[in-house]
Amino acid sequence: MTHPQELREHTYFNDPSYPFNIFRFRQEQLQKGIPSLYMHWHDHFEILLMVEGKAVFYIDSKPCEAEAGDIIIVPSGALHAGYCADEGPLEYYALVFNAALLRHSKTPDPKHTLYISPYLDGGLLFPIKLSHLDAANLQFKHILEEAIQEYEDKQPGYELMVKSQLYMLFTLLSRRFMPGEQQGRATLAHTRNADRFKKLLLYIDAHYAEPITVSKAAAMMNLNPYHFCKIFKKTTGSTLIEYVNFIRINEAMRLLSGSDLTVTEIAERIGCGNPNYFTKLFKQYKGITPSQWRKEAAGA
């Protein structure tokens, strides 16, 4: 998740029988507005548990501010990105798992069908944000912390423990948030501006080293430049230039840590022909120069 190569993320699972993974995000001395999670989507659920700092996540175009203790639930298929909302360190965990992990494949279970299946299949959606200010959400936070601890310790049978904790989480969330008949049901048929942009964002991920102007991007979307800029900002939380630069910096990080290319060669490869501009841009996003970042990555 750290170094994206294409917008549609193909999450790696250690064991296909237990399709889940847990990632820890930790960034030091960030500036407000710096991206922390690149714009992407996948066919899995993603639950973010904030540990330190403040961030704003865009979930299908809608901004959601989060701070330590908050939980963000990203539905399957939702386009999402994250940005630092304050200066200083930012840390959170991302629990990514496929709905198949919690599905019953053998004996029919009417209770599972009633309380769990609607959320796994997308017929019902949980709230995006569970605030730490609501004491009723503490039980959800504790379950996630136990799942993270099991994953990090990797004691024998930890896969079963994580699976059972996620099943418990969905059951308790369903108990609290399943709407009554008068409230109706939310469905995945709701329209998303994000869907309109997936083709464009895939193009950017494949052509980030080439000049991509607002006019060209707007033409791809059959929009005038002004309307395009307005919708793009609302959808992704950034301007087109900011988004392209973020993709370039992530590719630069991959090349800095995984190749012997010089800083000048990397600058040219990602579309920043001027190495001085590249260094300035990298420092803006990561707080240190490319050479310093490479040195720290090598010593990690």
User: Within 10 Å of residue 17's Cβ, how many Cβ atoms?
Assistant: 10
Tell me how far apart the alpha carbons of residues 36 and 292 are, in angstroms, rounded to a whole number.
19
**What H or E segment, with its residue span, contains residue 189?**
none
> Can you spell out the DSSP letters for 71-97?
EEEEPTT--EEEEE-SSEEEEEEEEEE
Structure tokens belonging to residue 295: 């040195």
Q: What's this model's pTM, rounded to 2 decimal places?
A: 0.68
Domains of the chain (ranges; CATH) run 20-177 (2.60.120.10), 193-299 (1.10.10.60)
For residue 192, the model assigns a pLDDT of: 47
Task: Extract the residue ranges of the chain whose pLDDT is less than 70.
Answer: 1-12, 14, 29-30, 104-108, 180-196, 300
Residue 187 pLDDT: 34
How far is it, in rounded angstroms, from Cα 73 to Cα 143? 14
* d(C-alpha 256, C-alpha 291), whole Å: 8
pLDDT of the residue at 39: 80
How many beta carbons lie within 10 A of that of residue 167, not counting itself? 15
> Among residues 170, 150, 40, which one has the least CA distance to residue 101?
170
Please state the φ and ψ torsions of residue 178, each to the nearest 5 degrees.
-60, 125
CB 45 within 8 A of CB 96: yes
Beta 129-130 vs 71-74: how paired, if at all?
Answer: antiparallel
Rounded to 10 degrees, the C-alpha dihedral 184/188/189/192 comes to: 120
Cα 118 from chain centre:
23
pLDDT for 29: 67
Q: How high is the pLDDT of residue 188? A: 35
Q: How far apart are CA 266 and CA 215, in angstroms?
A: 27
